[in-house]
Structure 1
Amino acid sequence: MRVHLCAVGRLRAGPERDLIDDYLTRFDRTGRGLGLGPARVHEVEDKKGGGMAAEGALLARAVPDGAMTCVLDERGTRMSSPEFAQMLGDWRDQGRGDLAFVIGGADGIDPALRMRADASLSLGRMVWPHMLVRVMLAEQLYRAASILAGSPYHRA
C-alpha cells in the first residue's frame, strides 16, 4: 500500500525536512516487506490566497485517484500507536493500493474535503503547526511499521 502525505506549504531544507526524510526512509525500509510503502510527500501551495477552499481543492487534486483519504484534524479519532498500526495493517489487508494522509494549512482542512474523507485522525487535543504534523505523522508511520514487524522500536 503506497502512502501519500498531501500537505499545504513547501517545506524548505532544515531540521523538519531532515526528520521527515529520515522517518520516511525508515518507514520505506521497514514497511517494504510488510506491503507498506513507499511513502511520498505531495506539497501544494495556494499562491492566489484563496484560503481554505482553494487549499482544499489543491489537496484534493494531490490525492491519487482511488486512494483512501485520511485527514489530520483535531476533531479526528485519537488513538494509540498500536491502534494506529492496526488500522494501517487493516487497510493494507483490505487491498487498499493507495492511502493519502491530508494535512491542511494554518487554518486547517476545508470542511468540504474533511466531509469527503474516509477517515479523520487527531494527533491529540492540542493544535500543532502543520509543518510539525508532517514530522509527527512520518514518525508514527515508521513506528506503526515497526510495531507490525515486531521490532523493538516501540517499547510500550
Structure 2
Amino acid sequence: MRVHICAVGRLRTGPERALIDDYVTRFDRTGRALGLGPLVLHEVEDKKGGGMEAEAALLERAIPKGAVIVALDERGTVLSSPEFSDRIAGWRDAGRGDVACVIGGADGIAPVLRAQADVALSFGKMVWPHMLVRVMLSEQLYRAASILAGSPYHRV
C-alpha cells in the first residue's frame, strides 16, 4: 500500500527537511517487507493566493483516486501510536492501494475537503505549525511500520 503525504507549501532545506527525509527512508526500508510503501511527499503551492478553497483544489489533484483520505485536523481523533498502526494495517489488509495523509496550510483544510476524508486525525489539542506536522506525521508513519514489524523502536 502506497502512502502519500499531501501538504500545502514547499519545505525548504533545513532541519525539518532532514528529519522528514530520514523518516521517509526508514519507513520505506521497514515497510517494504510489510507491503507498505513507498512513502511519497506531494507539496502543493497556491501561488495565486486563493485561500483554503484553492489549496483544497490543489490537494485534491495530489490525492490518488480511491485513496483512503486521512485529514490532519485539530478537531480530529487522537490515536495512540499502536492504534494508528492498526488502522494502517487494516487498510493494507483490506486491499486499499493508497493512503493519503492531507495537511492543509496555515488556515487548515477547507471544509469541503475535510468532509471527503475517511478519517480526521489530530496530534492533540494544541495547534502545530503545518511544516512541523509533516515531521511528526512522517515519524508516526515510520513508528507504525516499526510496530507492525515487531521492532523495538516503539516501547510502551
| TM-score above 0.5 | yes
State the 1:6 CA deviation: 0.2
Structure 2 unaligned residues grouped into runs of 5+: none
The TM-score normalised by the length of structure 2 is 0.99
2:56 maps to 56
State the 1:67 CA deviation: 1.0
Report the AA paired with residue 92 of structure 1.
R
Residue by residue over 1:13-69, the C-alpha shift from the partner in whole angstroms, topping out at 9 and shown as x without a partner, is 110000000001000000000011100000000000000010011101110111111
Percent pairwise identity: 76
Cα distance between partner residues in 1 of 2:63 and 2:102: 8
Structure 1 unaligned residues grouped into runs of 5+: none
Superposed structure 1 runs of 4+ greater than 2 Å apart: none
1:150 maps to 150
1:83 maps to 83
The TM-score normalised by the length of structure 1 is 0.99
Cα distance between partner residues in 2 of 1:85 and 1:64: 21
Pairing of 1:53-132 with structure 2 (within 5 A): 53-132=53-132
Q: Over aligned residue pairs, what C-alpha RMSD do you find?
A: 0.5
Q: Does 1:25 align with 2:25?
A: yes
2:45 maps to 45
Cα distance between partner residues in 2 of 1:109 and 1:47: 17
1:139 maps to 139
